[in-house]
Amino acid sequence: MTTPTLPPLPDERMDAIETAVFGRIADERERTRRRRRGMWTGVGAAAAVVVIAAVIGPSLASTSGASDSAIAGASGEGLTNQYSGGYESAPIAPLVPAQDAAGSSSSDAASGDAAARDAATRDIVATGSSTVEVDDIARAIDEVGAAATGAGGYVESSQLGGTIGAVPYEGSASTPAASSGSITVRVPAAALTSTMDGLRQVGEVTATTVSRSDVTEQTVDLRARVAAGEASVARLTELLAQAGSVSDLITAESALAERQAQLDADRQVLQSVASQVAMSSLSVRLVERSPAVVADPAGFGDGLGAGWHGLVTTVNGIVIGLGFLLPWIAVAAVILAVTWSVRRARRLRRRARED
């Protein structure tokens, strides 16, 4: 049996076959390389997603689960002379250079007496504010109100409970327990210092604010306006009685009504300022006393609990982060799928043209 022999192939045909074979080998290597590159890209993307979720997850969890807490301090906006830890009741004496008895002159004594008289005649509006820690809020409100009444003042307002929607204080016997409260009283200006000193008997004074405002110029101006208004009303009343015609009577009545209205307004303002000078305002914020903190050294159980809490928090943060990134991952997957489909269609068309 003879072995069939293949007809010889031309060199052009051999070159074409070699080119086609090497082209297919190159395409296969390129597909393998792309496959590996896509696999590593997916692994890197998954690792990046986990890292991003671990980073932003705890912040999202803390943002979504945080609750607002209001820690109120001592009220008194615009007030001055704030002392931490209690109110210093001792008056501050002006600094005067020391002099020997033999060297002091009568002119200095006269000027000092004049300054003292001027300070005594000035109109000062004093306002006080304190924060007091007590054991029983309702009883403390009663005690502060009784102290103000005993000093010759009165209770202007009071509230039991320091949160929004708190029920106004109406008596310690019918009100529930509360962690904070407030009371505002008016006392004579001379009794403001002693009343604030008496707050130490109610509880522990943690903050105190006192402000004094000089309204002497305002009161002097108001008194002058009231005096001028009274004189003008008196003159217009005389002119009204002497009016000889209807037109003069109408003109005098109109002017008198206008001056009388202005006089009444000035009197009300002067009365309000005089009331503020005579009766000082004291606002007291009452806070329930915090229990003493007992030192408890940490041990193995505390460390284990803290570690478990940290693990749960981290896992929760990662889950929240993955939930946050899931829509973005879905959009990115759709874009990658469309891009891969377009490129695959182009490769198939190119192969069809080559074949």
List, for residues 244-272, the tens digit of each pLDDT value: 777 877 887 888 889 889 989 999 999 98
CB-CB contact of 185 with 143 (8 Å): no
Higher confidence at residue 34 or residue 210? Answer: 210
Q: Tell me the pLDDT band of 307, cut-offs 50, 70 and 90.
A: confident
Candidates 118, 108, 120, 140; CA nearest to 284 is 140
Q: Which own/partner pairs from 178-182 qualify as long-range (CB within 8 Å, at least 24 positions apart)?
A: 178/137, 178/138, 178/288, 179/137, 179/287, 179/288, 180/72, 180/137, 180/285, 180/286, 180/287, 180/288, 181/137, 181/138, 181/140, 181/141, 181/285, 181/286, 182/158, 182/283, 182/284, 182/285, 182/286
pLDDT for 88 equals: 36
Domain boundaries defined on the chain: 122-221+275-288, 302-355
* pLDDT at residue 293, as a whole number: 60
The first and second tokens of residue 140, run together, are 């403390």
Closest CA to 193 of 274, 90, 74, 123: 90
CA 176 to chain centre: 28
Predicted confidence at residue 60, as pLDDT, reads: 53
Q: Between the ranges 62-76, 84-98, 119-133, 143-157, where is the mean pLDDT highest?
A: 143-157
d(CA 12, CA 4): 23
Q: What is the pLDDT of residue 150?
A: 92
Q: Which residue carries 């705890």 as its tokens? A: 58
Please tell me whether the overall predicted TM-score, pTM, comes out greater than 0.75 for this model: no
> What H or E segment, with its residue span, contains residue 234?
helix 216-241
What length does the chain have? Answer: 355
What pLDDT is stored for residue 302 in this prediction? Answer: 80
- Confidence (pLDDT) at 322: 84
pLDDT at position 71 is: 32
d(CA 137, CA 169) in angstroms, rounded, equals 10
- Per the DSSP assignment, residues forming a β-bridge with 286 are 132, 181
324-342 pLDDT, tens digit per residue, is 888 888 888 899 999 999 8
Cα separation values, 47 from 155, 309, 315, Å? 67, 24, 15
**Backbone region of residue 161 per phi and psi (left: phi > 0; alpha: psi in -120 to 50; beta: other values):** left
pLDDT band at 172 (very low <50, low <70, confident <90, very high): very low
Cα separation, 288 vs 203, whole angstroms: 10
What are the pLDDT digits (tens) for 4-56? 565 665 667 666 666 776 677 777 777 787 777 777 777 676 677 666 766 66
User: What average pLDDT does the structure give for the chain?
Assistant: 74
Q: Could you tell me which of 159, 195, 199, 197 has the C-alpha nearest to residue 180?
A: 159
Write out the two tokens for 51.
Answer: 């890292």
Kindly give, in sequence order, each residue whose CB lies less than 8 Å from that of residue 138, ignoring residues fewer than 6 positions away: 160, 169, 172, 175, 177, 178, 181
Would you say 313 and 58 are in contact if contact means Cβ atoms under 8 Å apart? yes
Rounded mean pLDDT, 44-69: 58
Rounded to an integer, the average pLDDT of 124-142 is 91
pLDDT top residue among 102 and 281: 281
The Cα–Cα gap between 146 and 155 comes to: 9
Calculate the alpha carbon distances from 250 to 236, 240, 262 in Å: 12, 9, 19
Mean pLDDT of 217-244: 86
Spatial CA neighbour of 280 closest among 133, 130, 176 = 130
Q: Which of 43-47, 187-191, 279-283 has the lowest mean pLDDT?
A: 43-47
Question: Which tops the pLDDT comparison, 41 or 182?
Answer: 182
pLDDT of residue 298: 66
Residue-level pLDDT at 166: 44
Contacts with 139 (C-beta within 8 Å, 6 or more apart), sequence order: 172
